[in-house]
A and B are shown apart, each in its own frame.
Chain A
Amino acid sequence: MIPTPLRQYTDKKDSIEVAGASVAEILGALTTQFPDLRKNLYTDEGKLRSFVNVYVNDEDIRYLDKHKTAVASTDTVTIVPSIAGGR
């Protein structure tokens, strides 16, 4: 599932089916298909940006196996922002 503001980089699609057995493969396939998405998700050094969380179904991959988290064909991978602040 793609957050609304990123749909401008995915031909307006809010969900996309891509093949892959892990989160790394899924995001790799996604950003290959939609290259403009890559700069929104990754730094120039190839690290996931600090404001990007990735969920497999309802689980944050930080608490699973991070990018190596296994993904089945029925799973949903969701990009969710990380937001906080204060004066």
Chain B
Amino acid sequence: MIRIDPDAWQVMLRHAEATFPNECCGAMIGSADGDAKLVRQALPLENAHIGSQATRYELRPEDLLKAEKAARSSGMDLIGIFHSHPDHDAYFSETDLKNSCPWYSFVVLSVKAGRYNHAKSFLPNMDQTAAEEEALEAPAA
């Protein structure tokens, strides 16, 4: 289960709505105790995809490295990644799966007509062939 603190959640929602109709992306920082994860801080990152960002996102490894270092310096860990699906539901697409990393939780935010709609979290497997849904506990929008 992944739980997201209210402040972090607001940062994620604002980023997803501000980048609409493009996809947003970012890092989730907090702590993990086995399968129980707590997101205490969300870090918006630049969508580095070259081409239409309405349907794609890409994180720069350098940005992830900075996020990892920032997390460690504040005594926390990089535990997940978030991105948005503008005008589509929150599901883990084939593109999401083929470009995922099994080490993290992936929260997908559905943004419809520029407003947050709903979200889900996923855990992709090592071979990038399947992702199981992870229970997500987030504050009311």
Instruction: Compute how far the CA of A60 lies from the CA of B60 in the bound complex, rounded to whole angstroms.
Output: 11
Contact with A along B99-141 (1 / 0, CB 8 A): 1111110100000000000000000001010000000000000
Known: A4-B79, A6-B103, A51-B100. A84 touches B56 (CB 8 A): yes
* Contact (Cβ within 8 A) A83 B101: yes
Residues of A within 8 A of B88 (CB): 87
Count of residues in B whose CB is under 8 Å from the partner chain: 37
Q: Is A17 an interface residue (CB 8 A)?
A: no
Contact with A along B22-47 (1 / 0, CB 8 A): 01000000001000000000000000
* Contact (Cβ within 8 A) B72 A87: no
Chain A-chain B contacts (Cβ-Cβ < 8 Å), number:
90
Interface residues of B, dominant DSSP: mixed
**Can you sample 29 A-B contacts with CB below 8 Å?**
A3-B78, A4-B68, A4-B77, A4-B78, A5-B103, A14-B72, A39-B126, A51-B102, A55-B65, A78-B65, A81-B61, A81-B101, A81-B103, A81-B104, A83-B58, A83-B100, A83-B101, A84-B56, A84-B59, A84-B99, A85-B57, A85-B96, A85-B99, A85-B106, A86-B55, A86-B57, A86-B93, A87-B93, A87-B96
Q: Which residues of B contact A (CB under 8 A)?
A: 23, 32, 49, 55-59, 61-62, 64-65, 68, 71-72, 77-79, 81, 83, 85-86, 88, 91, 93, 95-97, 99-104, 106, 126, 128
